Homo-oligomer: A and B are copies of this chain.
Amino acid sequence: MTQAVRHDSMRARNLGVVLSEIRRSGPVTRAALAEITGLTKTTVSKMVGDLIAAGMVTETGTLRDGERGRPGTTLALSGERVAALGLEINVDYLSVCVVDLTLAVRLRCAQAVDNRACTPAETLTHLRKLIHKAVDEARAAGLTIAGSTLAVPGPVDGGLLHSAPNLGWRDVRVGDLMDGLTGEVGERPPGEFPGKFPVEVENEANLAALGELWFGSAPDDFLHVSGEIGIGAGLVVGGTLFRGTRGLAGELGHVIVTPDGPACRCGGRGCLEQYAGQEALLRAAGLDLPASLPAPGADLPGSGPGAGPGAGSGVPPALAELVRRLQEGDASALRACERAGNALGIALTSAINLLDPGTIVLGGVFAPLFPWISGPARDTMAGRLGAMRRAVPELAVSRLGADAATLGAAGRVLQRVVADPGRHMATGRRDPGPR
A237, CB-defined interface residue at 8 Å: yes
Taking a contact as CB atoms under 8 Å apart, the answer to whether A268 and B384 are in contact is yes
Taking a contact as CB atoms under 8 Å apart, the answer to whether B356 and A268 are in contact is no
A237-B245, A246-B356, A356-B244 in contact; A346/B252 too (CB < 8 A)?
no
Given the complex, which residues of B lie within 8 Å of A171, measured CB to CB?
390
> Count the A residues whose beta carbon is within 8 Å of the partner chain — how many?
50
Given the complex, which residues of B lie within 8 Å of A267, measured CB to CB?
383-388
Q: Which of A184-192, A347-355, A407-415 contacts B (4 or more CB under 8 A)?
A: A347-355
A243, CB-defined interface residue at 8 Å: yes
Taking a contact as CB atoms under 8 Å apart, the answer to whether A245 and B259 are in contact is no
Given the complex, which residues of B lie within 8 Å of A246, measured CB to CB?
356
Copies in the complex: 2
Inter-chain CA distance A384–B386, complex, in Å, is 30
Chain B's nearest CB lies how many Å from the CB of A302? 32
Chain B's nearest CB lies how many Å from the CB of A229? 15
Taking a contact as CB atoms under 8 Å apart, the answer to whether B388 and A266 are in contact is yes
Q: Which of B245, B268, B353 has a CB less than 8 Å from the CB of A221?
A: B245
Inter-chain CA distance A399–B254, complex, in Å, is 31
Q: Which of B163, B251, B349, B389 has a CB less than 8 Å from the CB of A248?
A: B389
Taking a contact as CB atoms under 8 Å apart, the answer to whether A255 and B354 are in contact is yes
A354-B354, A356-B249, A387-B163 in contact; A244/B255 too (CB < 8 A)?
no
- In residues 255-314 of chain A, which contact B (Cβ within 8 Å)? 255-259, 266-269
Taking a contact as CB atoms under 8 Å apart, the answer to whether B389 and A162 are in contact is yes
Q: Which of B245, B247, B250, B254 has a CB less than 8 Å from the CB of A358?
A: B245
Given the complex, which residues of B lie within 8 Å of A249, measured CB to CB?
354-356
Taking a contact as CB atoms under 8 Å apart, the answer to whether A388 and B259 are in contact is no
